[in-house]
Structure formats: C-alpha cells, structure tokens
C-alpha cells in the first residue's frame, strides 16, 4: 500500500491558517461605501435584506411619496429604493468572497490504486492510497490576500461612484420634470389667452370691423398653442417615467407623488464656484479607483514574479503494503515529494503582461486627471453662463417683452397696429417665456453637474451643456450691468 501523507505539522498549520480566513459577510465593505456616500452627498443608502430596518425604510419612502417631493427627497428615495442600485451592491459580496478564497489553501488530493498479479496463483496483491498537499501555497497566501484586498477596495470605489452617479441622474431627471411642468403651465395660459383672442376676433368680425384673415390669424395662434401644450404634456409624461424608474417606483407609487410646478430662480453668489478644479481632483473617485487599480496590479506582478522563481512543491510520506498467499503483509514507508520543473514556462510572458497592464493603468490615471481638470473648468464656465443667462431673462428680457406686448396691444386697440404685429408680439413673449424656462433648466442642470464634481464624479459628457448667454438681439433690449 502506497500512501502520500501530508506532514502533520504542515497539515495542522494549513488548517489553522485556513481557519483564520476573513469573514464572508459583505456588511463591512458596504458600511465603508455608505460612509463614503454620506460624506460626499449627505445621503444615506440601505441594502435591502428583508429585515425590520428595511421595512421601516420602505415605510418612510411611502410617507415621502404622499408629500410634495423636492429634488433632495427624490434623490433620497432613489438611493434607498432603486433595484438596479441594490443589485450593484452584490459586487461587494463577490469581492469579499474572492478575498476569503484568497486566504484558503487548496484541498489535499487523495488518490488510490489496486494491483493484481498477472498469475492469480501467486496471490500477491498491492493496494495504494495517497494524499498530496502543495505546501508552497503557504508562502503565496499573503500575496494573494494582498491582491484580493486591493481589488475589494477598487470595488468599493466603483460602487460608491455608481451611487453618486445615480443621485446625480435622479437630480437631473427631477429638474427636467419640473421644467416640463412649468412649460405646461405656460402653454395653458397661452391657450387660455389665445382662446379669448379668438372669441374677441369673432365678435369684431361679426361687427364688420375686421377681415376674415384677421380671424384666421387669431385661430392659428390658438391651434399652435394647443400643439405646444400637447408637446409639453408628452415631454412631461416621459420625464415623469424616467424619474419613476430612477426612484424605483412601481404600481400605485408612480401616480401618488407630486412635485413643484416651477423651478426656483437662479440666485446666490457665483464666488462659491471658485476652486472647483482643485476640489474635483482631490475628491475624484475615478482617480482614486485608478490609483487602487495600479496598486492591485502591482501586487499581482509581485505574486507572478515570485511564483516564477519558486516552483510548486508537494511533500508527504509513502506507505506500501504487499500481501501474498500464505505470507504476512509487508510494509514499506518513506517520504515523497513532487516538483514542477520550470523548463518551458518560466513566467516570462505573465511578467511582461503584468508590466504592460501597470503602464496602461498609469497612463489611464494621468489621462483621467486631464479629464477631471477639464470637466471642472468646463462645468464652472457653464454654470456661470447659465446663471447669467437666467438672470438676464428675469431682469431684462421678460420685463421688456411684457412692455412690448402691452404697448402693441394698446396700439392695436387704437387701430394703429394690425393684427399681424400683435400676434408677433404675443409669439415673442411666448418665446421669451420658453427661453426663460430653458435657461432655468440649464442653470439647475449645471448646478447638479457642479455638485456631482464636488462629490467626486465626472458628469456625463464632462459638462452640463448649458445654453449661451442671451444677446441683446434675442430679447430686443439691454440689461444693466450684464
């Protein structure tokens, strides 16, 4: 009988080391992510596991939905309730399991064989069983754990970034929805005004004081206003559904919540936007994640280099027994070992690959630094532009269009202006109202991108796409101090 028996001290040490492996629970990793998110956004996240605490969270969400939502409440619901975001937390558990796996030793391998003699009358039977253990893994264990620990840190950064991105997307969707609601309010007023204009034009025509063309022009204004209202309502429905998805709402929840119908004005000092480039670089999760990736690749390269120098070695002991007819069983014992000879594969390709991966990650890190700085400058410029534009509409364009329409209406009533000039003045006022809503939307979107950068994540596209400052020609006048 041949038996490969692991040396007792090594077996005992291996079992002891395996017993000291890290916990499989991903809760500590999730706790780290939750702290990072709260520190950067002021929001809490929860990993739904069906506990009493989770049920209280869902009850709180239902309570929030019964009130008028703010942007902050919408983001809070999204971070607590979105199932796609919940699914991303499982990657923490996967990385934690990889860390535990890195601390485990390979299972011993047992083999056995039975040999019968060619001539049965000889009666000699040999049996063999064995167990083999690759003890060299004891030396690689700490390197594997270092790789897995660094990879877990990478995952923490990735998940934190996903949460911050989701918060920003929800905030942008909320801004878009409120902007469409404000457009609906505008076009409903336009429809009411146009309908009253049609009634007045009909009475004037019946009195013989206008032409059929004048009446049709007024009717055309009403028709266009209804089309604009319909388009705004469709855009609002689409924006609401995007927000429903981001907040993870379904069924009755999608219908009960309500939001403001107007965006707040663009107010406040623009000096608070200074220094964003430095802040963005210091707090960038993308840069931190790439730094951690370089560390992970460095640990992997260390492991690859050392494994190339030291081959796999298995050790044990052998016990052989032979039994023939009429004879006593014979025993033979002695140590055994097996060694993998690095004749062909000496790890040269793996080491070269590791070096290239590190260089690639380093270049990605520097490229990301350029992107972060550029995005910070662009976001600040767009935010300042959007702030000026919204203020310009509020202080100059809207008041001027109101005065122009009032003066044109007075001239029309005095029969000193025709209906075409009056209609043009109304359309210009409508365009000014739409422009103001677009300017407010651009401002709050740029503000959201700015906050996302401060939280450590790049906005989509590196900027908010704010509209340009309105020129004097766009509004027909000048604003003092603009």
Give pLDDT tens digits for 8-58: 444 455 545 454 556 888 889 999 999 999 999 999 999 987 788 888 988
pTM for the model: 0.82
pLDDT of residue 199: 75
Residue 454 · residue 279 · CB < 8 Å: yes
Share of the chain above pLDDT 90, in %: 44
pLDDT tens string 128-177:
676 777 777 777 888 889 999 999 999 999 999 999 999 999 999 999 99
Q: Report the range out of 19-23, 181-185, 299-303, 350-354 with the highest average pLDDT.
A: 181-185
Residue 345 · residue 311 · CB < 8 Å: no
Q: Which has the closest alpha carbon to 96: 158, 144, 32, 24?
A: 24
- In the structure, what pLDDT confidence band is assigned to residue 317 with cuts at 50, 70 and 90? low
pLDDT of residue 52: 81
> Is pLDDT at 316 greater than 90 in this prediction?
no
Share of the chain above pLDDT 70, in %: 76
pLDDT tens string 228-239:
899 999 999 999
* CA gap 214, 219 in Å, rounded: 9
> Is pLDDT at 344 greater than 80 in this prediction?
no
pLDDT tens string 365-418:
999 999 999 999 999 999 999 999 999 988 888 888 888 878 777 776 767 666
What's the maximum distance between 2 C-alpha atoms anywhere in the chain?
138
- In the structure, what pLDDT confidence band is assigned to residue 4 with cuts at 50, 70 and 90? very low
The number of CA neighbours under 13 Å toward the Cβ of 264 is 9
Lowest-pLDDT range of 47-61, 212-226, 426-440: 212-226
> Is pLDDT at 457 greater than 80 in this prediction?
yes
> Is pLDDT at 434 greater than 70 in this prediction?
yes
Q: Report the range out of 76-85, 274-283, 428-437 with the highest average pLDDT.
A: 76-85
Lowest-pLDDT range of 94-103, 175-184, 419-428: 419-428
pLDDT of residue 196: 75
């Amino acid at each position: 009988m041949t038996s490969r028996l692991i040396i007792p001290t090594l077996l005992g040490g291996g079992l002891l080391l395996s017993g000291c492996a890290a916990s499989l629970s991903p809760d500590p990793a999730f706790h780290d992510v939750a702290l990072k998110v709260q520190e950067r956004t002021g929001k809490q996240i929860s990993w739904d596991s069906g506990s009493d605490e989770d049920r209280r969270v869902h009850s709180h969400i239902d309570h929030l939905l019964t009130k008028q939502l703010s942007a902050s409440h919408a983001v809070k619901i999204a971070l607590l309730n979105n199932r796609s975001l919940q699914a991303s937390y499982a990657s923490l558990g996967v990385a934690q399991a990889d860390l535990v796996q890195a601390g485990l030793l390979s299972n011993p391998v047992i083999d056995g064989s039975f040999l019968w003699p060619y001539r049965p009358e000889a009666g000699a039977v040999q049996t063999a069983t064995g167990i083999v253990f690759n003890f060299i893994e004891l030396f690689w264990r700490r390197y594997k754990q270092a790789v897995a620990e660094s990879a877990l840190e990478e995952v923490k950064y990735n998940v934190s970034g996903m949460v911050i991105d989701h918060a920003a997307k929800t905030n942008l969707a909320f801004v878009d929805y409120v902007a469409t609601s404000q457009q609906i309010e505008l076009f409903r007023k336009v429809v009411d005004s146009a309908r009253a204009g049609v009634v007045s034009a009909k009475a004037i025509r019946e009195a013989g004081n206008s032409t059929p063309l004048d009446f049709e022009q007024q009717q055309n204004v009403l028709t266009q206003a209804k089309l604009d209202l319909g388009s705004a309502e469709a855009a609002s429905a689409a924006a609401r559904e995007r927000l429903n998805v981001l907040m993870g709402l379904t069924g009755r929840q999608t219908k009960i919540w309500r939001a403001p119908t107007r965006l707040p004005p663009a107010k406040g000092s623009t000096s608070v936007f200074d220094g964003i480039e430095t802040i963005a670089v210091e707090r960038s999760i993308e840069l931190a994640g790439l730094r951690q990736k370089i560390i992970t690749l460095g640990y992997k390269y260390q492991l690859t280099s050392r494994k190339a120098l030291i081959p796999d070695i298995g050790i044990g002991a052998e016990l052989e027994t032979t039994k023939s007819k009429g004879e006593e069983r014979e025993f033979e014992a002695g140590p055994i070992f097996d060694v993998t000879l690095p004749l062909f594969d000496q790890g040269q390709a793996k080491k070269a690959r590791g070096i290239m991966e590190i260089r690639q990650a380093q270049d990605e890190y520097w490229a990301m630094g350029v992107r972060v700085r550029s995005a910070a400058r662009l976001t600040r410029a767009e935010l300042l532009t959007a702030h000026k534009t919204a203020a310009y509409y509020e202080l100059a364009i809207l008041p001027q269009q109101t005065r122009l329409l009032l003066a044109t209406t007075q001239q029309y009533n005095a029969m000193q202006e025709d209906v075409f000039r009056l209609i043009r003045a109304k359309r210009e006022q409508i365009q000014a109202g739409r422009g103001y809503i677009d300017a407010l939307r651009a401002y709050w979107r740029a503000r959201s991108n700015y906050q996302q950068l401060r939280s450590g994540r790049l906005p989509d596209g590196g900027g908010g796409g704010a509209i340009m400052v309105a020129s004097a020609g766009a509004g027909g006048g000048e604003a003092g101090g603009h």
